[in-house]
């Protein structure tokens, strides 16, 4: 749990340094929501993934780079292409091998997201649009958010992520649903099903 706490608060520290075009974003003022959502995500990861991503964050900080800033900058490719064109040359180049890993993970996660939407439609209504075809100014889909986050991970972390995702899928498990189960409990529900039942 100590490692997960270090992950969450390292991300929070980097998130506080993200500079938005219109000034500080409202979500940067909501530490509780940030902690709940990132804690839930990291609880679904295995030890290898967490250790590797924590090293990614530390390596970035050591050279003055901010992975959270990079993630939001990459999202602008889909939601603010003109602004993105002005800064894209400052971002690390994504190798073909890294892109293949990201594409495989995104494909698995989209299958999980579809299952989540079928099983928990009322909760899912409050989620991001699923597909990147829904991206627009101020609207970032689940697919785009995930892809842009994965693009900031090292290939080492992505290989660990893909291995874990494949293992879960082979067991019939769903990382999205596991994640939301933790979110539901952290918000005081007994389960994701109770959260669904009490959603309007």
What whole-number distance in Å separates Cα of residue 174 and Cα of residue 167? 10
CA distances 145 to 2, 80, 85, 106, 183, Å, are: 26, 14, 18, 10, 18
Kindly give the interhelix angle for 96-119 and 142-150, rounded to the nearest 10 degrees.
150
- The residue with greater pLDDT, 192 or 127, is 192
Residue 63 has pLDDT above 80, yes or no: yes
- Residue with the larger pLDDT of the pair 159 and 200: 159
Query: Alpha-carbon distance 98 to 128, whole Å?
Result: 25
Q: Give pLDDT tens digits for 86-106.
A: 888 899 999 999 999 999 999
| DSSP SS3 for 11 | helix
**pLDDT confidence tier of residue 136, bands split at 50, 70 and 90:** low
**b/e map of 123-154 (b: 16 or more CB within 10 Å)?**
bbeeebebebeebeeeebbbbbbbbbbbbbbb
End-to-end CA distance of the chain: 34
197 — phi, psi (to 5°)?
-65, -30
Q: Two tokens at 113? A: 């997201």
In whole angstroms, give the CA distance from residue 26 to residue 34: 12
């Amino acid at each position: 749990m100590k490692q997960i706490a270090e992950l969450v608060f390292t991300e929070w520290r980097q998130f506080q340094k993200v500079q938005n075009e219109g000034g500080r974003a409202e979500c940067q003022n909501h530490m509780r929501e940030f902690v709940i959502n990132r804690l839930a995500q990291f609880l679904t990861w295995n030890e290898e993934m967490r250790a590797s991503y924590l090293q990614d964050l530390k390596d970035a900080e050591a050279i003055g780079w901010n992975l959270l800033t990079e993630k939001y900058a990459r999202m602008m490719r889909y939601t603010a292409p003109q602004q993105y064109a002005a800064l894209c040359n400052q971002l690390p180049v994504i190798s073909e091998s890294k892109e293949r890993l990201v594409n495989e993970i995104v494909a698995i996660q989209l299958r999980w997201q579809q299952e989540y939407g079928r099983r928990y439609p009322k909760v899912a209504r409050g989620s991001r649009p699923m597909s990147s075809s829904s991206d627009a100014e101020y609207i970032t889909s689940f697919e785009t958010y995930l892809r842009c986050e994965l693009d900031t991970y090292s290939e080492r972390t992505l290989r660990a992520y893909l291995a874990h995702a494949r293992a879960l899928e082979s067991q019939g498990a769903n990382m999205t649903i596991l994640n939301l189960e933790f979110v539901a409990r952290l918000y005081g529900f007994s389960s994701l099903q109770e959260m669904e039942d009490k959603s309007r």
